[in-house]
Amino acid sequence: MIRALLLSTLVAGALSCGVPTYPPQLSRVVGGEDARPNSWPWQVSLQYSSSGQWRHTCGGSLIEQNWVLTAAHCISSSRTYRVVVGRQSLSTAESGSLTVAVSKSVIHEKWNSNQLAQGNDIALLKLASSVPLTDKIQLGCLPPAGTILPNNYVCYVTGWGRLQTNGALPDILQQGELLVVDYATCSQPSWWGSTVKTNMICAGGDGVTSSCNGDSGGPLNCQADNGQWQVHGIVSFGSSLGCNYYRKPSVFTRVSNYNDWINSVRIGQAMSPTGPALPWPSEGHGHLSSKNPLPPPES
């Protein structure tokens, strides 16, 4: 009995992240669908202050009570940020949701906004205060270091990005099923070619469902065999031809390539402790598109 109790305790501890109180309702819907409220409880809305108002700019994942994982291209040192956690509707002050100021941003030291295709599009945001974990606010899990998902592995992208190319911005959190496209396929000339690197994940490319502008920085959620959801990807870029262009799958920063960097930031040993001012990636960066719908920050 004691051994059984200990084992159950260890399992509960191992699954302390990535197991929503309200499991997502998973179905393949063309172009995505409204997510079940609070079924992706590590999803955050990254917002910036503009003319006295807060505006959604990117997504992110709560990976510790005071740390959020997002994309480097979402961050500019000229802006003041906050994150909203535990939210389904961006326009509604929902019970159980919280807003927390960002006290520090840490951008990967090898990120170069003029070379988006080199990868390293990853940043961590330290929150001004830790958020309490509830049934609506929970932590996202990191995958084991070095994990490579197989071709056609089923994952879900979530965010408040545009519903289609040049389409409307939703008020309700969206989810969309995306199948992983392995590197051998995605790096073929008829797909992304040499633009995609091994520090990235491709997912989608069916011409129907994809991430889109405003989803940047948000998670690619993939479920492990034990039922735990893991944040395998960070929305990075897509084709300037359109959000859901055939054989141009959404491209994500591969989180499992950066476990050591993430851990070093969290214990205060990373380089570049504060992100420098960076040019905002343009919507037509070569044949790439940053997934952010907003104009460049004021200089």
206 phi/psi in degrees, rounded to 5: -85, 0
| Catalytic entry in 121, 211, 240, 285 | 121
Residues 49-54: contacts with CB under 8 Å, at least 24 apart: 49/79, 49/80, 49/81, 49/82, 54/82, 54/99
| Tokens encoding 192 | 């992304």
Of 61, 187, 216, 239, catalytic:
216
Whether 215 is a known active-site residue: answer no
Is 216 in the active site? yes
- 21, 38 Cβ separation under 8 angstroms: yes
| Residue 89 appears among annotated catalytic residues | no
Distances, alpha carbon 89 to alpha carbons 47, 58, 127, 171, in Å: 14, 15, 21, 5
The C-alpha atoms of residue 179 and residue 24 are separated, in whole angstroms, by 17
Give me the catalytic one of 39, 45, 56, 73: 73
Three-state secondary structure along 90-112? Answer: CCCCCCCCEEEEEEEEEECCCCC
Active-site residue set: 73, 121, 216
